[in-house]
A and B are shown apart, each in its own frame.
Chain A
Amino acid sequence: MERTAVLGRLSWRFATVLEVTAETDQTHSIVLDAPDWPGHLAGQHVDVRLTADDGYQAQRSYSIASAPSDEQLVLTVERLDDGEVSPYLVDELRAGDRIELRGPVGGYFVWRPTDAVPALLVAGGSGIVPFRAMLREHGAAMSAAPIRLLYSARTFDQVIYREELLRLAARDGIDVSITLTRAQPAGWHGYTGRVDTALLRQVSWPPEEHPAVYVCGPTGFVEATANALVGLGHDPGRIRTERFGGTS
């Protein structure tokens, strides 16, 4: 293939922060007003760019947490204490601030309500974000495709979108399983421990049913989970992954 250098055709736009709400201690949702937003698909993300006073720029990707049918664009960001961009987005942003973004981008890690096959969604930590958009979209489009979500969080307090997930789980066709890896509150009825082969076997559809599989979260989590799924007999070609970075 030839070498090419082409001027950018995807433009950056300013979005105004309408509201910042805490989901957990470490994680905030940022509600944005993005004028002329072209619409998006559940699972797509945006690139966010910050520019310092001296012109220094930093850019990161954030999944879109809102469904295509939602009125506002929402991102959910987890603060990494040693991070460059996420502490700013979580701690410093206020209503009225503007951030630069481009998107929506991505077409690979996307779920469409016209997809009729069962889907298994496996999330680690903030990897739940694109799945929240998919589950909302599932409801809004009254999709008949069965969906199972397996969500791994360290503690009950770190479960993002907790109330909403419980509400969604009450819907027909959506199953939500949560596993808490570090500590469990008294009377916890969900799973405990890391996502492993035994838990995946219990929660997922058998490979013979050819489910669509989506795995999202920190790199190490995604790799261990995808390997375990392949070990169970799932077709690697039907497992879509989105690595958020980091190794935990």
Chain B
Amino acid sequence: MTDRLDGNAIAGALQEVFGREMTTATGVCGHCGDSNRLGALAVYLAGPGTVARCPGCDAVLLVLAEVRGVTCVDALGFADLQPAG
């Protein structure tokens, strides 16, 4: 399960954490400044942890982990994250 997927693959997890549809939200990469819909991020599912990277520069933008049934998100790689209007 280390295939490269895209942000669609974490739509459910993101909706669980943020309480709304997030694949159409726009995130600005804190490393290269590219802005992308979260649906377009490069996503790697690896067991309990999931990493989403910038499709442009490969910087880690988001990490999702499930701990005892609670999904935790670390979105530290974004310079900005705006839900779709």
The CA-CA distance from A47 to B18 in the complex, in Å, is: 17
Taking a contact as CB atoms under 8 Å apart, the answer to whether A105 and B15 are in contact is yes
Whole-angstrom distance between the Cβ of A221 and the nearest chain B Cβ = 12
Which residue of B3, B15, B67 contacts A247 across the interface (Cβ within 8 Å)? B3
Q: Which residues of A contact B67 (CB under 8 A)?
A: 5
The CA-CA distance from A91 to B26 in the complex, in Å, is: 40
The CA-CA distance from A223 to B5 in the complex, in Å, is: 10
Which residue of B11, B16, B70, B74 contacts A3 across the interface (Cβ within 8 Å)? B74
B62-84: contact bitstring with A at CB < 8 Å (1 yes, 0 no)? 00000101111111101001001
Taking a contact as CB atoms under 8 Å apart, the answer to whether B8 and A109 are in contact is yes
The CA-CA distance from A247 to B4 in the complex, in Å, is: 9
Taking a contact as CB atoms under 8 Å apart, the answer to whether B74 and A6 are in contact is no
Q: Which residues of B contact A245 (CB under 8 A)?
A: 1, 3, 5, 9
The answer to whether B12 has its CB under 8 Å from any CB of chain A is yes
Whole-angstrom distance between the Cβ of A80 and the nearest chain B Cβ = 12
Whole-angstrom distance between the Cβ of A149 and the nearest chain B Cβ = 19
A97-111: contact bitstring with B at CB < 8 Å (1 yes, 0 no)? 000001101111100
Taking a contact as CB atoms under 8 Å apart, the answer to whether A45 and B11 are in contact is yes
Taking a contact as CB atoms under 8 Å apart, the answer to whether A1 and B76 are in contact is yes
Taking a contact as CB atoms under 8 Å apart, the answer to whether B8 and A45 are in contact is yes
Taking a contact as CB atoms under 8 Å apart, the answer to whether A242 and B6 are in contact is yes
Whole-angstrom distance between the Cβ of B82 and the nearest chain A Cβ = 11
Q: Which residues of A contact B3 (CB under 8 A)?
A: 219, 243, 245-247
Interface size (A, Cβ < 8 Å)?
30
Q: Which residues of A contact B8 (CB under 8 A)?
A: 45, 61, 106, 108-109, 242-243
Q: Which residues of B contact A244 (CB under 8 A)?
A: 5
CB nearest neighbor in A for B21: A107
The CA-CA distance from A244 to B9 in the complex, in Å, is: 8
The answer to whether A7 has its CB under 8 Å from any CB of chain B is yes
Taking a contact as CB atoms under 8 Å apart, the answer to whether A10 and B16 are in contact is yes
Given A4-B72, A106-B39, A108-B38: A9 and B16 interface contact (C-beta under 8 Å): yes
Supply 24 A–B pairs (Cβ within 8 Å), ascending by A: A1-B78, A3-B72, A3-B73, A3-B76, A5-B71, A5-B73, A6-B17, A6-B18, A6-B71, A6-B73, A9-B19, A45-B11, A61-B8, A102-B12, A106-B23, A107-B21, A108-B39, A109-B39, A240-B39, A240-B40, A242-B8, A243-B3, A244-B5, A245-B1
